[in-house]
Structures are given as C-alpha cells and as structure tokens.
Chain A
C-alpha cells in the first residue's frame, strides 16, 4: 500500500459562510490551506478535532505516529523535503510536552510547522485540570509565534495567521492551543486568507545601497569565499547562488543545512565548513579577503573560536533576519532580505571574474585531506566496513538523486561529508539542536513530502533506538523508507570525544542493541545485516531495489573517528586531520 495525497482542493472553497463545529472548521481550514498530511496523536483534549478528521478523511490524511515526538519529526521531514508547512496534532498535557523536542528542533532549523494542541475547557484553565499544561507558556521561547484559542470566532482567522507566520520571512514553528469546549461549538466558516500583520515584516524592502556595496566588495575581492546555508534552500535561491558562484567565479562552501543547495560536483563547490567540515574551506576561511555569508548564521559549530575567525576578511552577510547580523561575526556589509530577492538583484552589479589561482589553493588542501583521510576510509583494504563507504556507495548507486536523511552522531557527519547531491532539498538532518531520534520519523515525513524520490535514512545504533517505534507508522501507512543502521556498538560521537579528550574513558557509551532483524520482522519490514565488505554493494542494491521499506544493518568499525575535526573552541585553522 502506498499513501497518496488526497487533498485535491488546493483552491479556496466558495466564500459563502457555512455552519459547522469549531473542530470541523479546524480541519476545513487545513484543507483549504492545501494541507494533505497531518502527523499526530489523539487524546482527550483533541477528540472533537479527530472526529472531524474522520469526517473529512477523503480530503486529508492523518498519519498516526507512535509517539508525538515521532509525529513532529515526521512533520519536519515533510516540510523540509516538500518546502511546505508541516502540520502536527497532539492532545493537551503529555501529548503537547512530547512535542517540545521537535518544536525546539524546528525553531533552531527554521522549519515551518503548524502545531495544533488540544487544551482543557477554557473554564478550567489554570486550575491544574486533568492533563492541563501551560503549553503556550512552555513553548514561548521555542516558537516563532503561538496562541491559545478559547474563542470560537477566532478559529479560522488564527489558523490562517499561523500558516502565514510559519511559512513567510524566516520560517519557523507556530503553535495553536485550542480549548476543547470551542471544538464542539458551532461557528460560521468562511475561509479568510491572511493578508498582513502590521507588526510583522516578513520580506523587508531591498536596500539598493546595500546591494551595491556588497557587489563592489565582491568585485574587488582577490580571494572571495562564499558560505551558503539553508536560507538559500528556504527561499528557493539555488539558481541565483549558482549564477553568482559562476559569474564571479567564487569558491563556495556549505553549512550542514546548506547541503544540496549547490550540486556537490560543481567545480566551485569546496565542501562543508565547521567542526567536521572539509579541510580546505575551514583553513581558507582564515585566508580569504572577502567572506560572503548567504542565509547562514555563523553557528559556533561553524566558527570555532570567534576571536580567531576570519579576522582578515571583510564579511558580507546576506540574511532575512536582521537579528543575525553582527550576532557572532561583525559584518562589513549586511544585506537584509530574502536570499532569492537579494541575490537576484545583486547579480545585476556583479562583474565576471576569474579566481583560478585562489581556487587552486582549495584544490591543494583538498588533495591533502583526500590523501590523509578519504583514501583510508573510503577504500580501506582491511578491517570492518566504514560508515563513509556505506554513505558513498548509496550516493553512487542512487546517482546522487536520493533524499538523504540522518540522525545525529558520527554517521551524520559521515553522511554530510561523503554524500553526493544533484538536487536541492536532498539532505535532511537535525542541525541546530542535534536531536538524536530525528532520523527515522523525519524520513517518513520526507517520503510523504517527496513521494517520487528515494529516501534513504542513516542512523546510528543509539539514535535509532530512540524512535524506532516509528516502524509502526511505516508498517501502517506503507511509507517506503530505506533505513540504514550503521552499528558500531557505541554512542559513537560521544565515544570519539572520550577518546580524544577524556583519556579513552568510555563512560556509558558502549551500547547493547536488540536483534534489529527481529524488530524489523515484527513490523513486517524487510531486513538484512551486512558484516563483510564484499557483501555490501549487493545488500545496498537489494535494499534500493526493494519497493517496500527496508532495514539494512551494517556492522561498521567500532572505534573510527570522524576527521577532520576542529576541536570545540579552537580556531578553524587548528583543524585536525587525525
């Protein structure tokens, strides 16, 4: 069975008012906002809403997760692969608090979500009623906006506002908490599109002076370097980024979430910056004369020690969120606006250029990294399989066309370093929050958001066990996800730090795993385990050829560390190759 989108009514319904219950109005609104999937879990406080889902189930599909955390990560995966808003339902109290990790994750990674939680009856608010929690209070620091709905007349308008806020400007999670009583009450439904909010400017007016200044600096640079982030993907500026990179001939590095905004085999693509990024772009960040940051926020995992970060460079910062300017790195020129709009306009002033000598410096350092690291882990002659080999083989066998989802840990860094991409929105990973357990549920959502694409998800044995109950969701909805568990018997990334900074004292990082095959079997999911290098390719092929979900467990080298590595708090030039 394959679930398919049922919502064909993307256009607004007739603007005539219709009488219906508050709960019906919630679902009707979602349908009218083009929502095809809701990820969620029912309970006392949202039962009327679920009853309405039941009524309208020929127009919208509810995907019942096995844990609210699974539901929200699935919604995040859906949002990231489709570029649309992910929708999550949870009941009050424990249902709502189980969403917290995902909301925080979406907040840090600017993922557009509309979370709808049920709440106790309005007259019980603040009385410690059964399953009452102050959800808007708890989520205030981790939502872009939230609202407690206790007036039935506001339902339609507030939902419209929620979609508008979640999806515009710098996207983010929005939460609406709806008291149970108004879910029952009758209202007049009439779809209103949200027009504007006077205190909210999602797309600031472009400033021509800023654009000119930026272009001038780029044109005069001898050693320019671009670092692009997810802002490029969120604004759909991939084409403009490529044009800029090519016209001005600038080496371009990506952040973790910027992956796939530019094809990995583009001649100007120089890899990833940051703690486990590539050698050349990390080191040369401290050699470039102009650093052009596009839709990225200079996270500390990117910059290392700020006092020693790109001090020689003039920084140009393109971002839609002005509170990111000068937050971590002082910029010479700031360009406020949506990346697509700013890049489109800056391109008018950019001169054709050639920076081959400067690019050759990247090639030189890349050769060192390849010799020191790549050859050993991509083509080892002996020992167990490495995570890098698996990742690279999957990329080759899918011709760089797959959506790669990851959990958090060493495998995530290997997947980010060694995957090849030819399409945008192809790498889905928890960046800002680094949420273990993200991978499998996010992959489910990613597949529903991009049903025609192959979705391969990599997890470690640790993170997989955090949300593997979502196999139940896969089983029930027949979502086709290729799950690879790279089993090293450790909480690998923490073990790596213990190895390097704690005298190899492996405190609570060796970890037992169940027989994953039995778990897969219990859920009716195909399974194979690979231990020998010579069996790897065939097993991967079998997994990819399978038209159903699949769990492939690969026994990988236990104590292999991810390099290069910029140790926490060190300068980017102190990147270690071993």
Chain B
C-alpha cells in the first residue's frame, strides 16, 4: 500500500464565483480532508492561486490535480511534497494585558520564539509569530499557562523550489486554448 503523506497542492485559476466550491468539491468527492487552504492573487494580475495542504497518496494527488485542472476556470494545478517547498505561516495570539505586568516572562517567551507584539490595548495585547506550524504551536503551548483568549493561524503559503515560471505555463495554456478552440 502506498503511504499517505503531506502534500501541498497549487491551483491557478480565474477569479470567478464558484471556482473555490468546484475545487473543494473535488476533495469532498474523494472523502479527503483539507488541512489548510490559502487563496490570494498570484504574480499574474487577475489569476488567483490556491495553496491547499492535504494528506494523501502520491497517486491520488496526481489524480486530484488532473481532476481539478479539468475545471473550465482552472489554468493549472499541481502538487509538491514537503521537501520541494519553502513554506511559511503566520500566527496571532491574544492575551490579557495583565500578563504583561509581570513583563519579564512574556519578553522571555517572545525572544525564545522570535515573536513580536503587534498591538497593545487596555484589556489585551496581540502577539504575532511567523514560522512553521510546529513553531507557532510551540509558542502557543508556552503561552497557554498565561491564558490565551484567541489563537489563529493562517493557512500555509508556499513557494516551490523547482524553477517553473507560471507566466510561461499560462502563455502555453492560452496559446493552446486559442489554437484548439
């Protein structure tokens, strides 16, 4: 049996209503969970990039990416294993301002985890940390004893290590779409 691993799927699509649903439906229909999902405009204006983290086998990822690419509004879909990626996430933590009054401890934790204070209010303050999931989680664990009101982590953003230029892919796809229509 092929083993389940963590993969990161990239989807480049038009910014049309319903595309997100079509992409996530592909996961639902295979009874697959999405671990994290981030969408933002890509280096090409108007083209959106989905970064989706999931656990599956390599062959299923291949099928999934082709299945997603089959959607009319999807330009390109592909996937990478962990070692082929540079990834990052950002996390935020909200704690009571009271915790700051015995300041040393928080400062120590921020230094240990390379976090920083993003905002301070009368009742609460907000810490920000970028890093991999284990790192943002570790800070959370350390902060827990001080009472964390809110904790939020962004979906993963990732850049692939292989040198593939999406602009070139887009040009090729568009050329082919024109010629074969």
A and B found bound together: yes
Is the CB of B17 closer than 8 A to any CB of chain A?
A: yes
Is the CB of B146 closer than 8 A to any CB of chain A?
A: no
Is the CB of B150 closer than 8 A to any CB of chain A?
A: no
Which A residues between 319 and 348 are near B, CB-CB below 8 angstroms? 321-323, 325-327
Considering the complex, give the chain B residue whose CB is closest to the CB of A327. B63
B173 near A201: Cβ-Cβ < 8 Å: yes
Contact of B177 among A144, A197, A325 (CB under 8 A): A197
Q: Which residues of B contact A201 (CB under 8 A)?
A: 173, 176-177, 180
Which A residues between 157 and 180 are near B, CB-CB below 8 angstroms? 164-165, 168
A199 near B70: Cβ-Cβ < 8 Å: no
Is the CB of A569 closer than 8 A to any CB of chain B?
A: no
Contact of B75 among A168, A198, A322 (CB under 8 A): A198
A199 near B14: Cβ-Cβ < 8 Å: yes
B29 near A141: Cβ-Cβ < 8 Å: yes
- Size bracket of the B interface: 20 to 34
Is the CB of A307 closer than 8 A to any CB of chain B?
A: no
Question: Smallest distance from the beta carbon of A320 to chain B beta carbons, Å?
Answer: 11
Question: Smallest distance from the beta carbon of A345 to chain B beta carbons, Å?
Answer: 15
A196 near B181: Cβ-Cβ < 8 Å: yes
Question: Smallest distance from the beta carbon of B150 to chain A beta carbons, Å?
Answer: 29
Task: Kindly supply a per-residue 1/0 record for chain B positions 12-30, scoring 1 wherever the CB is within 8 Å of any chain A CB and 0 otherwise.
Answer: 0110011001100100110
Question: Smallest distance from the beta carbon of B83 to chain A beta carbons, Å?
Answer: 23
B21 near A199: Cβ-Cβ < 8 Å: no
Q: Which residues of B contact A199 (CB under 8 A)?
A: 13-14, 72-75, 173, 177
Instruction: Count residues of chain A with CB under 8 A from any CB of chain B.
Output: 29
Question: Smallest distance from the beta carbon of A107 to chain B beta carbons, Å?
Answer: 12
B63 near A323: Cβ-Cβ < 8 Å: yes
B28, B29, B181, most chain A CB atoms within 10 A: B181
A140-B25, A323-B67 known; A204 and B176 CB under 8 Å?
A: yes
Is the CB of B105 closer than 8 A to any CB of chain A?
A: no
Question: Smallest distance from the beta carbon of B1 to chain A beta carbons, Å?
Answer: 12
Is the CB of A203 closer than 8 A to any CB of chain B?
A: yes
Is the CB of A205 closer than 8 A to any CB of chain B?
A: yes
Considering the complex, give the chain A residue whose CB is closest to the CB of B67. A323
Question: Smallest distance from the beta carbon of A116 to chain B beta carbons, Å?
Answer: 17
Is the CB of A432 closer than 8 A to any CB of chain B?
A: no
B176 near A195: Cβ-Cβ < 8 Å: no
Interface of A with B (CB < 8 Å)?
A: 136-137, 140-141, 144-148, 164-165, 168, 195-205, 321-323, 325-327
Interface of B with A (CB < 8 Å)?
A: 13-14, 17-18, 21-22, 25, 28-29, 59, 62-63, 66-67, 69-75, 170, 173-174, 176-181
Q: Given A141-B22, A197-B181, output 11 extra A-B contacts at Cβ < 8 Å.
A: A136-B18, A140-B21, A140-B22, A195-B181, A198-B170, A200-B177, A205-B176, A205-B180, A321-B70, A323-B63, A325-B66
